[in-house]
Amino acid sequence: MITTKLKLSVTNDYLLRINENRYVLIDTGYKEDWKLFLKRLKENGIKINEISYVILTHHHDDHVGFLNKLVSENKDIRVVMSDKTNELIKVGENDQTHGGGLINKRIEFLIRYKNMYVSKVLGVKKENNLKFPPYESRNNDIIFTGEVTLRELGIDLPGKIIETPGHTIDSISILFEDGDCFVGDAAANMLKLCGTKNCVIFIMDKKQYYESWDKMIKVGVKKVYPAHGGEFSVGRLKKNIWRNL
């Protein structure tokens, strides 16, 4: 399977090729990432109307921020999301009703530095209010419940969607037959010197988060493609599981 990584201000998007000129996009980015997204498409010789589907791993602002813009520019694209994401994305704000917090105290300082880097170096001006333009699903969007194969959803790729909550209640991952797994924020590869140990910086439920790692290990994940940081072997999950409790 041919995969193209699109590195935005803080989030990795991934394009998976279905055939010569049809792609599946995994996640979007902050609303303010739109121009950078178009730049990344152009750099890779991909046209926006060649994206047939966008799969959302969860509802957070750095993953769904420019979804409305994407749909307005490519009206034939089909948004693929869980029933949980479908409800949360209508609100236009990261869900804060289920608790959670930063993985450790060292991260707070780094978040301030990240915001400065995104603004000054990348030129992406972002309000840090955890909000995004609300999205109302359309008739041609695909809303699923539980775990399903991509082919059951009409996407001709040998993969399946598995539930991997913990970061959020609606977090899902996309696992392919070769063991490649696109996990959104169900794992990460960033800020290692701050003791993240492959956790994303915010977690709703640490126990559930690690249970999702255990699930990924048991179902045969070999390579992890996170939304933050570079891809890595599942051996890192095996090494670091439970270490941030």
User: Comparing C-alpha atoms, which of 132, 128, 56 is closest to residue 90?
Assistant: 132
At 242 the pLDDT is 95
At 76 the pLDDT is 97
Q: What is the largest CA-CA distance in the chain?
A: 47
At 120 the pLDDT is 56
Q: Counting beta carbons within 10 angstroms of the beta carbon of residue 106, is it exposed (0 to 12), middle (13 to 18) or buried (19 or more)?
A: middle
Cβ–Cβ under 8 Å, residues 97 and 170: no
**Phi (first) and psi of residue 69, to 5 degrees:** -65, -40
Cβ–Cβ under 8 Å, residues 171 and 188: no
Looking at residue 216, the DSSP 8-state letter turns out to be: H
Tokens describing residue 16 = 């998976």
**Phi (first) and psi of residue 195, to 5 degrees:** 80, 25
Single-letter amino acid code for the residue at 90: K
SS3 state of residue 110: helix
Q: How many CA atoms lie within 13 A of 84 on its CB side?
A: 17
Distance, in Å, from the CA atom of 231 to the CA atom of 185, rounded to the nearest integer, reads 12
Name the residue ranges covered by the structural domains of the chain: 3-240
* One-character DSSP codes across 34-72: HHHHHHHHHHTT--GGGEEEEE-S---HHHHTTHHHHHH
At 106 the pLDDT is 76
User: Comparing C-alpha atoms, which of 13, 35, 32, 33 is closest to residue 24?
Assistant: 13
Tokens describing residue 52 = 């047939």
At 144 the pLDDT is 99
The matching CATH number, chosen from 3.60.15.10, 3.40.50.620, 3.40.30.10, 3.90.550.10, for 3-240 is 3.60.15.10
At 244 the pLDDT is 87
**Phi (first) and psi of residue 6, to 5 degrees:** -110, 105
Distance, in Å, from the CA atom of 77 to the CA atom of 204, rounded to the nearest integer, reads 31
Distance, in Å, from the CA atom of 32 to the CA atom of 44, rounded to the nearest integer, reads 20
At 104 the pLDDT is 77
Full pLDDT tens readout for the chain, 245 residues: 789 999 999 999 999 999 988 999 999 999 999 999 999 999 999 999 999 999 999 999 999 999 999 999 999 999 999 999 999 999 999 999 998 888 777 777 776 666 666 555 556 665 667 999 999 999 999 999 999 999 999 999 999 999 999 999 999 999 999 999 999 999 999 887 778 999 999 999 999 999 999 999 999 999 999 999 999 999 999 999 999 87
